Amino acid sequence: MARVVLTTVGGALLAAGLGTLLLAFYALSLILFVFATFLLAFVGGEVLTFAYVIRGFGPESFDARRVECSSFVPVRGAAFVGVRIAPRIATGFYAEVFDSHPDRLETVGGSSRLLTWWAPGSVKTLAYITTPSVRGRFELGPTVVVAHDTFGFAFCAAALPTPWTLESIPRYPSVRIRRAERFSTPVFGQSPDPARGAGMDFHSLREYATTDDPRRIAWTHSGKGTLYVREFQRESQEEVLVLLDVGRAMAAGPVVADALEKAVDAAGLAAQYSFDEDIRFGLVLFSDRIVSHLPPGRGPDHEFAVARALAGVAVDSHSSSLTAALEYLSPRLKTPAHLLAFSTAQGEAEELARVWGALRRSGHRLNLFVPDLRTIYPGLPSATSQRAFDLLLGPEIVRVDRQAEVLRRLGVPVARYGPGGAAADVGLIFAPVRGRRVAA
């Protein structure tokens, strides 16, 4: 059963009634006595009547359920949210109803709030259209019902469990591809692993030509006088695997544009390019453990799973270990893959070199993207503050530089990304393969 809470107005008026009563005793004024007794009786009567009317008020006295809510929405898209609430209270009351949602969901239609008289037996429906300003998983609910007395002297609140998750899926616009030589090798097309044969994946039908192998004639589709042959395409052997460090060090930078956010943008772009070019794409989220692993794959379901995974990426409170992620992948990578790692490369340099050395010998390639800590933070207003901040950041910058140098010596191209993100560099990696199908 919920508790009645006196509001500031109610409590103050009760205190004013008592104060007036004291002054009435001082002046022995009839009008003050009458005023005081009226005030006290009025406030007391109102609060006690309210407490009686909403007896039994609580989450269990409502039947609340979500109706027709959207589950997925693109960033800046429109999602629909609806809640229907039926009370089991026999008397009417004033109520404020609001559906809790994060601030980053902007309501653009309808309202997530209602201030109304709730007649007994009537059903209330909250419906609104909301748009997320950023990617992410947004937890909606609970839906809170606050019962008010008529004059604002007391209230009673109940949180109705109406959980719902709205996932805001990012969109990745294409970027202009710059010259490939700006970014060091390896790039696509230089894989040492040759493709197998002519392939077995069905591609299309075309009319028979005399040079065609008769074994490819599609008899079931051929009619009198016209023969068709099946065309096959080569299976793609290319795999891209993005390793996304979600450790706490990736929170470097301003809140809404930190290193992880930039990495997510770039990873999304890599996914978009991969899917465009029919390249199998996988994703590993890691900190000091593997948070999530989507093995390389293709197809609409896989693309959606990747988009959802990227939408839900958030900074983990743990430190991170690129070595642990590579060790995890080592037995799982069946064919040579191109790894794109967005990480601060924490951990022992020698250990990292050892693990990567083994993977390199198996034919895998790695591009490492590290946040540029010198530029990712916006400048501070005063020179003294900036110097102090640089001093604090210094050891971490040195550490990242050292790790990058170790990997460079092993032939791993290392790129730094700052406030502009890593999209351009990712674009350069994919430049040789972008549009090859069109050209073919």
Partner 1 sequence: MNERTLATGLFLLPFLYVAARVVSLFPASALGVYFAVGLSLAIALMLARPEPSWQMVAVSLDITLAVLVAVSLLESKVVGDLASQLTVGVLIGLPFLVSALAWRERSGPAHRALALAFAIVIGTALLATREGGVATVHGDLPTNFVEAFFAANVNQIQGLADLVAGVANPNLPLRAVFDGTFAALCALAVAGVILVALRPRSGLDEPLPVAARMPVPSARGRVDRLVPFSSAQRAVFESRSPDEPPTGAWAPGLASIVFGAMVAGGFIAVAFATPLYTPLIVALGVTAELELMLIAISRPRDPARIEVTSASSTAGGAAPSAGPTAGGASQSEPPTGSEGLST
Which residues, numbered 277-316, are part of the site for partner 1 (CB under 8 A)?
285, 287, 291-294, 305, 308-309, 312-316
**Residues of this chain, 62-81, that bind partner 1 according to CB under 8 A:** 65-74, 77-80
Q: Among 226, 317, 382, 384, which residue interacts with partner 1 (rule: CB under 8 A)?
A: 317
Smallest CA-to-CA distance from 94 within 142, 121, 54 is with: 54
How far does Cα 341 stand from its chain's mean position? 19
Angle between the N-to-C axes of helices 300-311 and 259-276, in degrees from 0 to 180, rounded to the nearest 10: 170
Q: Number of residues in contact with partner 1, rule: CB under 8 A?
A: 139
State in angstroms the smallest separation of the CB of 61 from partner 1.
Answer: 12
Smallest distance, Å, CB 143 to partner 1?
A: 10
* Nearer to partner 1 (CB atom), residue 117 or residue 202: 117
DSSP secondary structure code for residue 175 in this structure: -
Number of other CB atoms surrounding residue 44 within 10 Å = 14
Q: Which is nearer to partner 1, 79 or 266 (CB)?
A: 79
Centre a 10 Å sphere on the Cβ of residue 274 and count the other Cβ atoms it contains.
Answer: 28
Tokens encoding 274: 């991969």
Q: Is 101 in the site for partner 1 (CB under 8 A)?
A: yes
Residue 378: CB minimum distance to partner 1, A: 14
Phi-psi region at 106: left, alpha or beta (left = phi > 0; alpha = psi -120 to 50): beta
Burial call 254-272: b when 16+ CB within 10 Å, e when fewer:
eeeebbbbbbbbbbbbbbb
Q: Which of 33, 208, 232, 328 binds partner 1 (CB under 8 A)?
A: 33
Cα separation, 278 vs 298, in Å, equals 7
User: Applying CB under 8 A, does 319 fall inside the site for partner 1?
Assistant: no
- The phi, psi pair for 212, rounded to 5°, reads -75, 150
Alpha carbon distance 418, 125 (integer Å): 47
Q: Which residue in 238, 258, 372, 425 binds partner 1 (CB under 8 A)?
A: 258
Region of 103-111, 195-203, 269-277, 405-413 interacting with partner 1 (CB under 8 A): 103-111
76 in Cβ contact with 105 (< 8 Å) = no
- Quick check: 244 binds partner 1 (CB under 8 A)? no
151 binds partner 1 (CB under 8 A): yes
Pick from 23, 175, 205, 217: which binds partner 1 (CB under 8 A)?
A: 23
Instruction: State which of positions 321-350 bind partner 1 (CB under 8 A).
Output: none
Going by C-alpha positions, the residue among 179, 292, 302 that lies closest to residue 239 is 302
Q: Which of residues 364-423 bind partner 1 (CB under 8 A)?
A: none
Of the candidate residues 17, 296, 347, 421, the single one contacting partner 1 (CB under 8 A): 17
Amino acid (one-letter) located at 216: R
**86 part of the interface to partner 1, by CB under 8 A:** no
Residue window 123-142: x/- pattern of binding to partner 1, with contact defined by CB under 8 A: -xxxxxx----xxxxxx-xx
